Structure 1
Amino acid sequence: MTASSFVPYPTVAPDAGPDGPEAAGPPPGRPSVTHLRLSAFAGHRGAGFGLGPLTLFTGPSGSGKSTALRAYEALARLGGGAELAEVFPDPAACVPERARPDAQSRRGFRLGCTADGPLGPVRLDLAVQAEPELRIVGERLTAGGLVLLETALRDPSRPAVQAAWYTGGASPVTRGPLPDDRLGTALLPLRVAGKTDGQRQVLAAAEQMVIALRSVFACDPRPRRMRAPVSAGGGRLLRGCDNLADVLWRTRSECGRRHGQLVAAVRAGCTGPVADLLSEPGLDGRVRGLLDRGDGRRTDLRLLGDGELRYLALALVLLTGPGVLEVDPAGEVPEALQTLTVLADGFDRRMDPRQSGELLRLAARMCEQGHIRLVAAVSDVAGAEGATVVDLGPADGVGEG
C-alpha cells in the first residue's frame, strides 16, 4: 500500500525475489500453506515468509511475530467461511501506521498466501478496506499462470464485489456478484458449475486453497483455566486447552500408544518422576488432571507451574490430530489428504530452556513424520533441528511481538 493511495491488490508474480522463495511443499496430495504474504498489514510492508513443515518466527518484542501468526489465522478463518467483521474485530489495527487515506478517505490492508498441493502452487491475494467501512475490495486466485478468480469493488453503495472467474470456454470468464464480507474463493463451489475444463480447474484450485486454510488449529494454552476441574464429555481440546483434563480422559482410553508417547514427553519436561498422566472424576461429575508419580503419590495438575502446564498442553497438541483438537477441517475430504497446521504464538512462553528445548525437539520429530505442520513464535530456536527459521531482526517501532 502506498502512502498516498489504496491499491486493491498487488500484481501477480512468482513467489520469489522480495517475497523470498517458496518453502518445500507438503506431502503429495496434502494441501498446505507454504508461503505467507503481508504486503501491507500492521507493521509489515512487502513481507513474504516461506513456511516449511516446522516454521519458527523469532525476533525481539515488537518485531511482528504475533502479527504474522495473526494474519495466518485470519486467512484460515476466512477460508472456513467466517465473516470479515468476525475475523477482524479491530480492522484499523491491521492498517499500516503511516498509510494515508486516498481521495475517497479509504484505508486498508493487504495479505495473502500460497497453498501447495496436487495442482502445484495456488496463490491467493486479498485486499481489505478497513475505513470508512470494513469490506473486501479485491481478491485474486491464481494457479499455473492463470487468473482463476478476480474481484473488484465497482459500486461502493452495494454490499457486493464484481467477480470474474475463468471458464476456458467460448466466453473466457463468467461474471457475477459476490458478497464483500466473505472470502470469494470459499464461495466458488456454490457458484461454479464445473461443466468445462476451465471451471473444473477453478474448483480444484479453490478446493486446494480452502482445504489448506481450514486445516488449522490455533493454540494458546492458558494455565489459570487449565487448573480447574472441567465437565466431562466434550473430548475435543479447545484452543486455550481449558478442558485438558477431559481430553486426557479420552486419549488415555482410546489411544494407548500416543498416550504413552505423551507420558514420555511429560516425563522429559516436568520436574520429578512421572509414571502416568490421567484424569479422575470428582463427586460433582467434573474431572481433574493428575500426574501419577509411580510410588502411590499423585499430583493434581493445578499444582504445576505455568511453564509445566503449557509444556504439557502443547505436547498433547503435537501428539494428537484433528479428531482430538477443536478444528473445522474440510469434512468431505479424507483425513489422509489433509495436513493439520498448528499455530502457536509464544510457543515457549514461561518455559525454562530444558522444557522449550524438549518441546522443540518433539515438534521437529512430529513435523518430520508429516503428522502435523507447526508455525510458531519463539524466543529461542535452540533444539529445533531442520526448522525454517524466520528471524525478524531488530524491531523498528512498529508491529507487535
Structure 2
Amino acid sequence: MTHPPHPDRPRVTELRLAAFAGHRRAVFRLGPLTLLAGPSGAGKSSALRAYEALARLGGGAELGEVFPDPAACVPEGARPDAQHRRGFRIGCTADGPAGQVRLDIAVQAEPDLRVVGERLSAGGTVLLETALRDPRKRTVEAAWHTAGPAPVTRGPLPDDRLGTALLPLRVAGRTPGQRRVLAAAEQMVVALRSAYACDPEPSRMRARVPAGSGRLLGDCANLADVLWRTRAECGRRHALFVAAVRAGCAGPVQDVCAERTGPVPVPARQGTGTPTARQGAGTPTAGLRAAGPARSGGPVPSEGASSVRALLDRGAGVRTDLLRLGHGELRYLALALVLLTGPGVLEVDPAGEVPAALQTLTVLADGFDRGLDPRQRRELLDLAVRMCERGHIRLVGAVSDASWAAGTEGVTVVDLTRD
C-alpha cells in the first residue's frame, strides 16, 4: 500500500520545460517514483539535466557553474531576436506546508549568460518577480510581495543566481505578506536542494579506490569506500542491502564486504610532477556537464594512501572481487545502495538549517534500467517502490522502455513520445 507523503515534507511534483533543449511546452507530473520513458533522443537525459540545474540553483550555485555550455540548452532552431539574444525557460512546482508553489525562470544563454526573468507564485499570487531592465547592469529588478502599506518591495538582485534562494537575505519577515514569501521560498529551496544525480559507471567501480570521505559520488566509482563506512554504521541497513544484492546478483551472496588493502596505485606523473587526475568519460547523467563534487570521477590518491576494495562473500571461504562482476550486476548493486542510504552518505547538499525529517531526497537516475536483465530490473523497481512509499526518498529515473513497469502500484510512467 502506498502511504501518502508527509504534508510537512516539501517535494517537487511537476517539472516544466517551456523551452529547453529538445523540449517545448513540456509538463511532467512527478510522483514519488517516476520513470521517464522513451527511445534514445526522446529527451530523458535533458529533463533530468533541467531538474538538477534547478536543484543546484536552489542551493545557491552561480549560473555559470550550473550551465557551463548554455548554448546546448537552447532549443534547436531557436532564432535570436533583434539584439542577438537566445535562451531557454524551465520551472517546477513544489508541494508542501505552503501549498503549491511555482517557480519559473528565463535564462539568456547568448550573448551573455544571465537570468532575465524569474517568478515565484503560490495560490494565484506572485510572490517574487524579476526582470532585466538594463542590459548594461549585472542585476535584475526584483519585486516581492509585501502586503503592507506598500504592496511590493523593489530592489536589485544579481543576474547570475536564483532570486528565490536569496530572498531570506532580503526579506525581513515582519508582515504576514513577507512571511508568506519566505515560507514559499523556503519550501521551494528545500524541495529542490536534496537532489542526487547518479549514473553508475561499472568501469570505475571495479578498481580499488583510495579511502576518502565515505560519501558516494554520482558515478559510484568510490562505492567500495562507502561500503567500508555503511557496513559498520548501520547493521539493519546493511542487512537490507545484502538481501537486495542476493536477489539481483548471480550465485550465493552471504555478505558484501569492504576491506583495506595496500597503497592505491598512483597515476603516472607528468612533467610538472603532479599526479594526473583520472579523466572521466561520462557524467552522472548523460549530458550533465556541470561541475561539482558529485560529478567527479573520484579523488586523486596521494602517494602511499591506503585503498579499499569491495567483495561479495559467497560462503565457504569464497569471496568475489567486484572486478569479476558483470556490468549489469555492478549497476544494480550501486543503485540498490543509493536507494538504501540517504543524504549523509550520498554526495548531496541538503538544506542544513532544516531537520532531516522534513526533507525528501530525490534521486535522479539516468539509465535506471541500463544493462539490467529482467530479474534485476524487477527487483530494483520493487526496492524503489518500497523506499519511495515511505516518503523519505523520491526517484526520477530514465528508462528506454517502461512497459515492464506499467501498472505497478506507486509508479508514475511519463512517456516522452506522447507527453
Q: Same fold (TM over 0.5)?
A: yes
Match of 1:279 in 2: 258
SS at match of 1:331: coil
Deviation (angstroms), 1:380: 3.4
Deviation (angstroms), 1:386: 2.3
Match of 2:313 in 1: 292
Deviation (angstroms), 1:318: 0.4
SS at match of 2:54: helix
Separation in structure 1 between the aligned mates of residue 79 and residue 214 of structure 2, nearest angstrom: 48
**Paired positions, count:** 372
Separation in structure 1 between the aligned mates of residue 322 and residue 50 of structure 2, nearest angstrom: 33
Separation in structure 2 between the aligned mates of residue 164 and residue 364 of structure 1, nearest angstrom: 42
Structure 1 residue 388 corresponds to structure 2 residue 367: no
Match of 1:334 in 2: 355
Give 4+ residue runs of structure 1 displaced > 2 Å after superposition: 383-386
Matches within 5 A, 1:36-75: 36-75=15-54
> TM-score, length-normalised on structure 2?
0.87
Give yes or no for contact 2:40–2:400 (8 Å, CA) kept in 1.
no
Deviation (angstroms), 1:250: 1.1
Q: Deviations over 1:46-102 (max 9, x none)?
A: 110110000000011111111111110110010011111111111111111121111
Match of 1:103 in 2: 82
Structure 1 residue 174 corresponds to structure 2 residue 153: yes
SS at match of 2:167: helix
Give yes or no for contact 2:332–2:376 (8 Å, CA) kept in 1.
yes
Structure 2 runs not aligned, ≥5 long: 264-305
Deviation (angstroms), 1:280: 1.0
Match of 1:269 in 2: 248
Q: Deviations over 1:85-143 (max 9, x none)?
A: 11111111111112111121111110100000001100000000111111100000001
Matches within 5 A, 1:160-309: 160-284=139-263, 285-309=306-330
Deviation (angstroms), 1:40: 0.7
> TM-score, length-normalised on structure 1?
0.91
Deviation (angstroms), 1:251: 1.1
Match of 2:107 in 1: 128
Give yes or no for contact 2:39–2:401 (8 Å, CA) kept in 1.
no
Structure 1 residue 357 corresponds to structure 2 residue 378: yes
Match of 1:12 in 2: none
Separation in structure 1 between the aligned mates of residue 220 and residue 123 of structure 2, nearest angstrom: 41
Structure 1 runs not aligned, ≥5 long: 1-23, 396-401
Give yes or no for contact 2:195–2:363 (8 Å, CA) kept in 1.
yes
Match of 2:367 in 1: 346
Q: Deviations over 1:251-275 (max 9, x none)?
A: 1111111101111110111111100
Separation in structure 2 between the aligned mates of residue 378 and residue 277 of structure 1, nearest angstrom: 27
Separation in structure 1 between the aligned mates of residue 38 and residue 199 of structure 2, nearest angstrom: 19
SS at match of 1:139: strand
Deviation (angstroms), 1:371: 3.0
Deviation (angstroms), 1:25: 7.9
Separation in structure 2 between the aligned mates of residue 255 and residue 25 of structure 1, nearest angstrom: 27
Give yes or no for contact 1:361–1:385 (8 Å, CA) kept in 2.
no
Deviation (angstroms), 1:157: 0.4
Percent identity among equivalent residues?
77
Which of 105, 109, 116 is equivalent to 1:137? 116
Match of 2:292 in 1: none
Give yes or no for contact 1:221–1:310 (8 Å, CA) kept in 2.
yes
Separation in structure 2 between the aligned mates of residue 214 and residue 26 of structure 1, nearest angstrom: 18
Separation in structure 1 between the aligned mates of residue 81 and residue 59 of structure 2, nearest angstrom: 31
Structure 1 residue 31 corresponds to structure 2 residue 10: yes
